[in-house]
Chains A and B, each alone.
Chain A
């Protein structure tokens, strides 16, 4: 899941300031799960912005609509029927969603209302934790399903560092030591042998340095 947090209202107000007819567009996928940009959050932001506009005697229309996904064009096309009524879109999607909408509707400004944060999991109610860097070369098999790049504070591929105490990281006692977890988990499966190997530095060229990555699956194409 992609996580995000809403930008400060002041920042959003500054960005939408030149526009009079604004559509706040929510996204019903990842950002709904992390309570940043779903239908409820979109309604809340739109309501707060309308109140702020009224308090400042601004003649602004702010409507709201939530799409199932803003990063999939089949859903974004639902804006086709309403977009002519607005002079800006305020997107409560992740960065991918904002760009997908902007690309589909090049004639209208699309303003981001969220800061996209990380790939993570919902650990508990109101708690999201980073768990993947999208490196393009997954090594979870070798590390018992725990990613040292995302979850070790020092991103060590050949750990542990020796600094953890009672299973927690020396960098931040709130963070469980990823290497403690890796060793515990591999031991449970009699797979500690996987740690005999020295892992070379990751090839980050798979993640970055070649422009935007893409996945092409011919079997999925029409």
Chain B
């Protein structure tokens, strides 16, 4: 993992209580930096402000995973999957995208901002590491603030 990706953030301490935004990230283990060592290092750096969930493929994701995350602990939940056409299991990222869209429609129907959910597909030309994604998404979640739907 490239430590430069995580050093400037430093949100861990300020987000450690229930009033600060918490981010859930479901990521395909096949993305760059998706190994277990990187996950542990990121969780240790960001503390309680992020929860990382490695999945064997984006296609494993269910809308229920995202809803439960938003309901029980997270203020935003994102999925990181492989670039278009680069899924090891052919269609996992495409399926994940549809499921995220469906879940966005559900949370929108109850009045929660759909921006609290999203999917990001990597780029073949400019691949990003998990730590880079986490940094960007942490900043984004921080801007969204605490969700009204989350159990505090």
Contact = CB atoms under 8 A, between A and B. Distances in A.
Interface of A: 8-10, 40, 43-44, 47-52, 54-55
Given A54-B148, A55-B148, A55-B149, A48 B107 contact: yes
Given A9-B106, A10-B109, A44-B106, A51 B64 contact: no
**Which of B63, B109, B110 lies at the interface centre, i.e. has the most chain A CB atoms within 10 A of its CB?**
B110
Identify whether the interface residues of A are mostly helix, strand, loop, or mixed: helix
B38 to A, nearest CB: 30
Interface residues of B, number: 17
B15 interface: no
Contacts of B70: 51
Contacts of A49: 110
A48 B106 contact: yes
B109 A51 contact: no
Given A9-B106, A52-B111, A54-B150, 9 more contacts: A40-B62, A40-B64, A47-B67, A48-B110, A49-B110, A51-B107, A51-B112, A54-B149, A55-B148
Can you list the 8 inter-chain pairs with the closest CB atoms, starting with the nearest?
Answer: A51-B149, A52-B110, A47-B67, A55-B148, A9-B109, A47-B71, A51-B71, A44-B64
B60 interface: no
Contacts, number: 44
B68 interface: yes
A79 B63 CA distance: 27
Interface string B83-116: 0000000000000000000000011011110000
A51 B63 contact: no
B64 A55 contact: no
A54 B64 contact: no
A111 B149 CA distance: 24
Contact of B112 (A10, A43, A55): A55
Interface in B105-140: 106-107, 109-112
Nearest to B98: A126
